[in-house]
Amino acid sequence: MPMRTHTCGEARDNHIGQTVALCGWVHARRSHGQGLLFLDLRDRFGITQIVLDQEDSPADVVERGEKLRLEDCVRVSGEIRARASVNPHLDTGRVEVVVKELALLSRSDPPPVIPGDEKGGLSAESVRMKHRYLDLRRPAMQKIVRTRHDVSRIARGYFHRNGFLEVETPILYKSTPEGAREFIVPSRNSPGTWYALPQSPQLFKQLLMVAGCDRYLQICRCFRDEDPRQDRQVEFSQIDLEMSFIEREDVIQTMEGFARELWGEVLGVETRPFPRLTYREAMDRYGIDRPDTRYGLELIDVSDLAARTEFRVFSEALAKETGAVKAIRVPGGADRLTRKITDGYSEFVKTFGAGGVPVTKVVSRDGGAALEGGIAKFVESIAAELITRVDAAPGDTILFGADTYAVCTKALGELRQRIARDLDMIPDGAWNFLWVVDFPMFMHDAEMGRFFAMHHPFTAPRRDQLDKFLSADAADIGAIESIVSDGYDLVVNGSEIGGGSIRIHQREVQAKVFSILGMTEAQAKEKFSFLLEALRYGPPPHGGIAFGLDRLIMHLCGTENIREVIAFPKTHTGQDLLTEAPSPVEKSQLDELYVASTWRG
């Protein structure tokens, strides 16, 4: 008999009476005394109950079985029979294996991480990351690993059917100013020179379009030397795509088809065609360019009404160059949002530059609706119009933001999300997808006195904006900020899962973008000579997108921690607790690379 005839997740009613061999780890043990022992045997496919019974199992097998400990690795063989007590929580819960032979393949020390404990008794995350090979044995983690594999498989299948070629691009790369801080690698063969690890394969996939690849796919590793956070790691994976001879609509339709197939195959969820919002609509209504539309709480502009009051907070805000007053209606907030809570909201929005959150409640009075409490007396003259504007009813609360447009929308956009969580307004099982389009091409930083690309410096202006872009004076901040790009983001439940754009394929357009971003011709040539050179040789119109693979898995597996969906993740400080990286290296290694350390810690 082979070492294993079946997996631990395979046995069913139709296997009853068969002799099988299973291999795995002791997941749980229950001794009933008098020579009766039940063990749960686990592998990545599932769990099967095995029985060592002095009436049906050899005496020496029972004796050795009594000595088994959690996470011992064993092989058993025996006959499958029906269980006396069915376990509805296991796929194999209707059968068990009566053990005739047992072999201890390897002994386990008492494990610091117990894969069988999934209910709050888990070790601290630092312990689990230190012993990640044990943490990965947990059924929940095995499910995540399997889902990650399935997503990659589905992606490759879908894009293969749609004519994409999978092409690998270099990991050792040229340092380029694309926004994030890079990891750099010294070259031994060219002393004093450095490679960079790619933030993304952006330039190479554009070069592949120039090369006639037509449609490109890669599931690639990317690196950014930034502080990790809950949904970001210093190294991450993305599904990277590019297409030639297309317009924005072609990319959106193709990628929407992928997302719908992915959710359908992995979760069995049928999604409708995705709605679209312009960047400006998203900011106006939700205060964020990746809005969560599973709940209401939309931002409503009431600047014109606020201008007719004598409330100083409103008048001071509206006196600013881009001043705005916006409101959020909270259904049922009169009973649920206490003074203590709304005071906390005022402190919360201060972290986003706002001064506080004026508030009032809607009450029933004289057969109609009226305002009461908070700033009610300051807005009495506009009360009826305000209630109508925000579609409020008695029992609701109205919260306000008043500042520049940017501060007002940012603060209320963040507050909106907090209110939804606090009041449990986010429905379970909902999947709200949407495309956000028509982003500004540039944003100006007044403190630094320069422009930045909203997406990246290779994003093209929207086609109807091209002449406006080419004729715009780089010194005219308003004109440059008004140019709309051909970028697009795919958002689900308030999370950006994919972002892309139509790329620049005309050399003169790319050169002007570099100029607006503050690069001299010499600097642009030094950093991007290979791209500018390639654009001389008949580049096709092209565009693409990149999906954050890790974020996709987070959504599909229902976790908010990116470390849970990566087999060997880093901590929030970028450390690998398993291998203790980063770590010092020998001075001889540095000497060979012509590198000296200045660290004096």
343-401 per-position pLDDT tens digit: 999 999 999 999 999 999 999 998 889 999 999 999 999 999 999 999 999 999 999 99
* Residue 32 pLDDT: 86
Give the pairing of strands 442-445 and 450-453.
Answer: antiparallel
Exposed / middle / buried, residue 124 (Cβ in 10 Å: 0-12, 13-18, 19+): exposed
The separation between CA 506 and the C-alpha centre of its own chain, rounded to angstroms, equals 33
- Calculate what percentage of the chain has a pLDDT beyond 90: 88
Token pair recorded at residue 56 = 């049906």
Enter the pTM of the model: 0.92
114-131 per-position pLDDT tens digit: 987 766 567 789 999 999
Going by C-alpha positions, the residue among 299, 202, 288 that lies closest to residue 496 is: 288
Task: Quickly state the pLDDT bin for 10 (edges 50, 70, 90).
Answer: very high
Side-chain half-sphere exposure of 429, counting CA atoms within 13 A:
4
Q: Does residue 171 contact residue 197 with C-beta atoms inside 8 Å? A: yes
Task: Quickly state the pLDDT bin for 177 (edges 50, 70, 90).
Answer: low
DSSP 373-402: STTGGGSGGGHHHHHHHTT--TT-EEEEEE
Residue partners of 226: CB distance under 8 A and separation at least 6:
180, 181, 232, 234
* Residue 493 pLDDT: 97
Average pLDDT, the chain: 94
Query: HEC states along 312-335?
Result: HHHHHHHCCCCEEEEEEEECCHHH
Q: Tokens 């012509």: give the residue.
A: 594
User: In what helix (H) or strand (E) does residue 409 lie, and over which residues does it extend?
Assistant: helix 405-422
* Residue 118 pLDDT: 66
574-601 per-position pLDDT tens digit: 899 999 999 999 999 999 999 998 887 6
Going by C-alpha positions, the residue among 106, 117, 169, 111 that lies closest to residue 139 is: 117
* Residue 178 pLDDT: 58
* Residue 340 pLDDT: 95
- Calculate what percentage of the chain has a pLDDT beyond 70: 99
Using omega within 30 degrees of 0 as the cis cutoff, is the peptide bond preceding 582 cis? yes
Q: Is the pLDDT of residue 337 over 80?
A: yes
Rounded to an integer, what distance in angstroms lies between the CA atom of residue 233 and that of residue 183?
A: 13
546-573 per-position pLDDT tens digit: 999 999 999 999 998 999 999 999 998 8
N-to-C CA span, the chain: 60
Strands (E), 255-295: 276-278
Q: Does residue 92 contact residue 133 with C-beta atoms inside 8 Å? A: no
Q: Does residue 359 contact residue 400 with C-beta atoms inside 8 Å? A: yes
* Residue 572 pLDDT: 85
* Residue 423 pLDDT: 96
253 phi, psi to nearest 5 deg: -65, -45
472-489 per-position pLDDT tens digit: 998 999 999 999 999 999
Q: Is the pLDDT of residue 288 over 80?
A: yes
Q: Is the pLDDT of residue 229 over 80?
A: no
Going by C-alpha positions, the residue among 186, 208, 211 that lies closest to residue 197 is: 186
171 phi, psi to nearest 5 deg: -90, -40
DSSP 11-44: --GGGTT-EEEEEEEEEEEEEEETTEEEEEEEET
Q: Does residue 95 contact residue 15 with C-beta atoms inside 8 Å? A: yes
* Residue 17 pLDDT: 97
Rounded to an integer, what distance in angstroms lies between the CA atom of residue 71 and that of residue 42?
A: 9
Q: Could you give the 3-state DSSP secondary structure of residue 508?
A: helix
- What would the mean pLDDT of 397-414 be, rounded to a whole number? 97
* Residue 566 pLDDT: 96
Q: Is the pLDDT of residue 406 over 90?
A: yes
Residue partners of 587: CB distance under 8 A and separation at least 6:
none
